[in-house]
Amino acid sequence: MNSNKKIRGACITGIGCYVPEKVLTNQDLEKMVDTSDEWIVTRTGIKERRIAAENEAASDLAYHASMDALKKAGVKGRDLDQIIVATATSDMIFPSTACLLQDRLGSKNSAAYDVTAACSGFIYGISMAHSMILTGKAEKILVVGSEVLSSMTDYTDRKTCVLFGDGAGAVVMEPCEAGKGVLATYMRSDGSYTDLLYKPGGGSRMPLTPERLKEGQQYIHMKGDGLFKYAVKAMVSAARKTAKDAGLTTEDVDYLIPHQANIRIIEGVRKRLKLKKEQVIVNIDRIGNTSSASIPIAWCEYERNHPGKISGGDLVMLVAFGGGLTWGAVLYRK
Ligand code: UT7
């Protein structure tokens, strides 16, 4: 390894996103299950979410978001060294969605692999890309969060179908001067709580049979209240630990971009971290919970709608929590 490469940072040079055209509103859901706009807005903060078209899979959404990010970074697909796709809804179990994306982007010189960490997948992906760039293993990495959660949502189950949406976000990461870009990352897991959020069917434990399809094993199973309790605590501790690892505190943070699972979780985290409402980037009302895609979509939309608002030197904290359980954070200096 070239010793010069040790003293560099890893920066995001382009951020892109894509959401499908179809909008599923709370009013639409009122016609499908026993729910109400009032319940959904009060309990979750969601008003509408996007749903992929019949022929749109995770790699398709990822492709659009990636093209947006590559264009903004001024990087060509063939220049990428690595493609990391965070997804829980890959096109197929294998090959990876990253390989399908690699082909469409013409990234002939790139390694490509998926990360499965549910809603924390984008944080895990950024963390891996950061390490790869710092060690000199790679120069240009595409990190994508892409989900078609509608493909494993039971639209007769009001406890889950009101929450999830589809979409993708992507970033290009490249070396930059030390002290900029990713300052610290944090990743944790606790597999003893698998049953709080999982999709049992379709893997080697439970291959899908007509009986299991009838039982609904192909769908997301979730214990929302158990997750809720864990989520706020885990996200707050991840943010604090990450700030501390960078020699800072959460009071130094200018913007928080949390995983968009529930506005009440986001508010709980915001209050405990003593941040003002305007410091927290939220789009759950329009996009719902898109798992690994939620943070990059929220960031990308914010940059598009408020160009230059997050300016040079600002500190941005990304924090997520999800199935696994998994959680983690990234502290980023713009
Ligand atoms: O993405 C990362 C991981 N995901 C999360 O972190 C999700 C965390 N959990 C949550 O966001 C919340 O727990 C939910 C939004 C899923 C549920 O909110 P809650 O306040 O925890 O509601 P609950 O599950 O305790 O249900 C309260 C009541 C129940 O009725 P009873 O038993 O009290 O009569 C539910 O049957 O609300 C009922 N309910 C609904 N009513 C109308 C549940 N879903 C609905 C619905 N419409 N869609």
Take residue 244 and report the two structure tokens written for it: 């501390």
DSSP string, 168-201: EEEEEEEEEETTSEEEEEEEEE-GGGGGGEE--T
What's the whole-number mean pLDDT along residues 283-311? 97
What mean pLDDT is reported for the chain? Answer: 96
Check the CA dihedral 137-4-318-170 and report its sign.
negative
Distance 294 CA to ligand 1 centre (A): 20
3-state SS, residue 115: strand
Residue 206 CB burial class (10 angstroms; 0-12, 13-18, ≥19): middle
CA gap 265, 272 in Å, rounded = 11
Residue nearest to atom 3 of ligand 1 (CA): 322
pLDDT at 4: 46
Ligand 1 environment, Cβ below 6 A: 35, 39-40, 43-44, 119, 158-159, 162, 197, 224-225, 227-228, 231, 261-262, 265, 289, 321-322
Q: What is the DSSP letter of 282?
A: -
Residue range 193-204, pLDDT digits in tens: 999 999 999 999
pLDDT class of 78 with cuts at 50, 70, 90: very high
Residues 6+ apart with CB under 8 A from 238: 186, 188, 319, 321, 327, 328, 329
**pLDDT tens-digit series, residues 141-188:** 999 999 999 999 999 999 999 999 999 999 999 999 999 999 999 999
Catalytic one of 11, 17, 99, 119 = 119
- Which of 26, 42, 43 to probe ligand 1 with, by most ligand atoms within 8 A of CB? 43
Q: What is the mean pLDDT of residues 51-67?
A: 98
Determine how β-strand 181-189 pairs with β-strand 22-25: unpaired
Amino acid letter, residue 50: R
Phi/psi at 321 (nearest 5 deg)?
A: -155, 140
Q: Is the pLDDT of residue 36 over 50?
A: yes
Q: In what order do the strands lie in the sheet with 8-18?
A: 111-115, 82-86, 141-148, 166-177, 8-18, 181-189, 326-333, 315-322, 255-258
What percentage of the chain reaches a pLDDT higher than 90?
Answer: 97
Is pLDDT of 328 > 50?
A: yes
Instruction: Tell me which of 64, 283, 289, 300 is the catalytic residue.
Output: 289
The pLDDT assigned to 2 comes to 45
Comparing CA positions, the residue from 77, 75, 58 lying closest to residue 14 is 75
Task: Name the nearest CA neighbour of 292 among 93, 57, 124.
Answer: 124
172 forms beta bridges with 14, 142
pLDDT value, residue 71? 98
**Residue 6: which pLDDT band, with cuts at 50, 70 and 90?**
low
259 is catalytic: yes
> What ligand 1 atom has the least distance to the C-alpha of 289?
1
> Is pLDDT of 7 > 90?
no
Distance 224 CA to ligand 1 centre (A): 6
Question: What's the mean pLDDT in 12-26?
Answer: 98
For the stretch 88-110, pLDDT in tens is: 999 999 999 999 999 999 999 99
**Nearest-angstrom CA–CA distance, 275 and 266:** 11
Distance CA 125, CA 51 (A): 24
pLDDT for residue 55 is more than 80: yes
Q: Report whether 219 contacts 154 (CB < 8 A).
A: yes
Active site residue 109: no
Question: Distance between CA 265 and CA 232 in Å, rounded?
Answer: 6
Ligand 1 centroid vs 159 CA: distance in angstroms? 6
- Report whether pLDDT(37) > 50: yes
pLDDT higher than 70, residue 1: no
Output the DSSP codes for 82-110.
EEEEE-SS-SSSSS-HHHHHHHHHT-TT-
> Separation of 284 CA from ligand 1 center, angstroms?
16
For the beta carbon of residue 176, count every other beta carbon within 10 angstroms. Answer: 17
